[in-house]
Amino acid sequence: MDSITHIALGACMGEAFAGKTLGKKAMIWGAVAQSIPDIDFISSLWMDTPSALLAHRGFTHSFLFLIIITPLFGLLAEKWHRPHNISIKKWILFFGTVIFIHIFIDAFNNYGVGWFEPFSHQRVSFNAIYVADPFFSIWPGLACIMLIRLRRWHPQRIKWVYIGLFCSGLYLLYCLFNKSRVDSDVKYILNRQHISYSRYFTTPAPLQNWLWFVVAGNDSGYYVGFRSLFDTKKEIPFQFFARNDSLLTAAKRTEGIQQLTRFSQGFYTLEKCQDTLVFNDLRFGQNMGWQHPGARFVFHYYLSYPKENALVVQRGRFEGWNVQTLRFLLKRIKGN
């Protein structure tokens, strides 16, 4: 999830744990602990882009990191707030829970997390919720604002903690329900349209959970389309994108290419664009693909110009968006 959502969730958890004992300092501890796995962003200061892509949500989102960092936070907080009546075991349980929630919910996005680093490079991605979903974030965000405003002993504080944590949790369950419905529909449609595939995935289009991006194919290429939960027709107008592995000569199969391929989990295409070869990671969708089926993929990496890839994950995510774009998105969500 986005950083603001993590901070708000952590603040709510901190209040639930020790709000009456530590006051609003408990919210700060929760926010810091919930944010600590994202410290991996500093890797981009010295790593090249392909390496930084793998470092992000890598080791700092692993169970090993959780085991290492949790007692350190517990010992620091226990010493900082002496004298108090919170045992070291409770501190460790609190920080372990907060940090685990971070690496757990990040796995529901399409980026993937390295739960098993450094023993396995396998990334876990459930593809059930968009990385910045306002319908998920609104509850902990609103609760955090109210907890900041209300006095320490105000009786309404616990109510806002429940709103922030349980409403977002219920929405996540709702997203999993939507995911199961979409996957069931997509498998049926792929079979009905006689589309051969060895792997596929579905992931929400931006900012909501009702319109889903669909990719299915094999080493020769991928069929790409969109499916709304409100679509009545059992069909998807797919666009085919050739994988074009042949564009890579032996000389161009560098370490960076291997890292990009691993990062994409095999869902990639190559294309020649003017004077450069472009690597597309299909998992991040297309820019307004529901409006323009042949639209460019958001994640496109210029292989011939590696220095031009600083914002490669979200490059062009909202480029060209306007009121008309939002209207078209809402129209597509309503179904065909």
* Confidence at 313, pLDDT banded by 50, 70, 90: low
Q: Which residue has the tokens 């944010």?
A: 35
User: Long-range pairs for 172-179 at CB < 8 Å and ≥24 separation?
Assistant: 172/105, 172/108, 172/128, 172/129, 172/136, 174/209, 175/108, 175/128, 175/129, 175/133, 175/136, 175/204, 175/209, 176/126, 176/128, 178/128, 178/209, 178/210, 178/212, 178/229, 179/126, 179/127, 179/128
Name the β-bridge partners of 95.
none
Continuous H helices in the chain: 3-22, 25-35, 49-55, 63-80, 88-106, 134-149, 157-192, 255-263, 323-333
Short-list 308, 328, 306, CA closest to 316? 308
Return the axis-axis angle of helices 88-106 and 3-22, rounded to nearest 10°. Answer: 160
| pLDDT of the residue at 314 | 62
Mean pLDDT of 7-14: 97
- What are the pLDDT digits (tens) for 47-89? 888 899 999 999 999 999 999 999 999 999 999 988 788 999 9
Q: Of 103-117, 140-154, 196-210, 241-255, give the lowest mean pLDDT range.
A: 241-255
Give ∠ CA 63-266-302 in degrees, rounded to 5.
Answer: 105
In order, the DSSP letters of 34-61 are HHGGGGGGGGGGTS-HHHHHHHTTSGGG
What is the token pair recorded at 220?
């020769």
Q: What are phi and psi of 306, to 5 degrees?
A: -60, -25
Mean pLDDT of 295-320: 77
What average pLDDT is seen over the chain? 92
* Confidence at 251, pLDDT banded by 50, 70, 90: very low
Q: Which residue has the tokens 């900082």?
A: 80
Choice between 291 and 65, residue whose per-residue pLDDT is larger: 65
Q: Is 70 exceeded by the pLDDT of residue 92?
A: yes
What is residue 295's DSSP assignment?
A: P
Short-list 250, 241, 296, 294, CA closest to 269? 241
* Confidence at 14, pLDDT banded by 50, 70, 90: very high
Prediction pTM value: 0.92
- What are the pLDDT digits (tens) for 204-247? 999 999 999 999 999 999 999 999 999 999 999 999 999 999 88
Q: Is 90 exceeded by the pLDDT of residue 184?
A: yes
* Confidence at 141, pLDDT banded by 50, 70, 90: very high
What is the token pair recorded at 48?
């090249």
Q: E strands along 206-251, which residues?
A: 211-218, 221-228, 239-242
